[in-house]
A and B are shown apart, each in its own frame.
Chain A
């Protein structure tokens, strides 16, 4: 089934540890995004990539890094996790970065940093 997969589904992590959230799409979409969802705050953009080989910062990029080595994969890395990074993380993609293209979302990763 075509779509976006994220791994892991959930994770409990000790503060200070490094963690990479994986995201893969098989729709050959050019643009990909990482959001975090916190209670009462909706979804906020962390980083994005308009095409393979390029990345950009969103609203809340501090403490996170991304890479886009190919079209399908867009991993998000927390170099040294802190409790404030406890959240649900969504990966999304769209065919093109322009405004009329729908963004498709993955199932999310629930991350708890203790």
Chain B
């Protein structure tokens, strides 16, 4: 089974600064998708960004971007110009060709004013 590792249980950032959340994964597949989900205190799971493994270009969604290194099996999330509303638990997830989603254990992000 695929494994997803988030090595940072907690991270903090000053408002307006940039922070990077790390994620690595293990797989023998060549075709897959990677996701970052945000879970605020409301508990709702919100998709932040996704990356297709066959695309070399890193995905970007406004202030959120990823650094996808396929050979290294690394998928980090960069949040630029951090805002108080970015404070949440962030989960990295891997989706196999069968469609099953495997999650990391999460990184709790605190944003300081």
Contacts and interface: CB of A to CB of B under 8 A. Distances in A.
A107 interface: yes
Most buried by A among B50, B97, B101: B101
Instruction: Name the interface size band of chain B.
Output: 20 to 34
B96 interface: yes
Interface in A73-114: 88, 90, 92, 94, 96-103, 105, 107-108
B105 interface: yes
A105 B45 CA distance: 6
Contact of B106 (A33, A42, A103): A42
Interface in B41-55: 43-45, 47, 50, 52
Contact of A40 (B44, B102, B105): B105
B64 interface: no
A57 B62 CA distance: 37
11 contacts: A40-B105, A43-B45, A96-B99, A98-B97, A98-B99, A99-B31, A99-B97, A102-B35, A102-B50, A103-B101, A108-B44
